[in-house]
Amino acid sequence: MKKMKLFILIVVGVLSITSCLFDGSWLGLVGRWQDVENPSFELEFTKGGKFNEYLFGEIVGYGEFYAKDDTITLHYLSQCGGENQVSCDVSLRFTVTDETLIITDSQGDIRFSKVRGSE
């Protein structure tokens, strides 16, 4: 009986830790998104935690992303922030629904619409 209680306690502990580590808010980001005001710019997020930025269909930036609650951090593996900067991290706020992604930076909101067939 003691072993069973210990086993249950361990399982509950592991599940508690796992639930803290996994935040499903990023799942709505998966797919390709087109900037509403500047349709030549698109963002793509993959289930593997990678992102790509496209301008006129060509990749202009890429890296890894991490999302928790309403904040997304883009870790650029490509050059960003000017000619001399090799990589950088950018944290932004986001809101996502089925068909709309809103990313908020210091300049305000940027609205994206889901590109059909992008999941």
In whole angstroms, give the CA distance from residue 89 to residue 106: 15
In a domain, 2, yes or no: no
According to the model, what pLDDT value does residue 27 have? 75
Count of domains forming the chain: 1
Q: How many CA atoms lie within 13 A of 85 on its CB side?
A: 10
In a domain, 19, yes or no: no
According to the model, what pLDDT value does residue 21 have? 41
In whole angstroms, give the CA distance from residue 19 to residue 16: 5
pTM of model > 0.75 = no
Chain segment 65-106, per-residue pLDDT in tens: 999 889 999 999 987 766 666 668 899 999 998 899 999 988
In the predicted model, what is the mean pLDDT of residues 47-66? 94
In a domain, 6, yes or no: no
Percent of the chain with pLDDT over 70: 70
In a domain, 92, yes or no: yes
Whether the CA torsion 68, 72, 73, 77 is positive or negative: it is positive
> Which domain covers residue 57, as residue numbers?
24-114
pLDDT higher at 24 or 73: 73
Q: What is the CATH number of the domain that holds 29?
A: 2.40.128.280
In a domain, 28, yes or no: yes
According to the model, what pLDDT value does residue 72 have? 94
In a domain, 89, yes or no: yes
In a domain, 7, yes or no: no
* pLDDT of 18 over the 70 cut: no
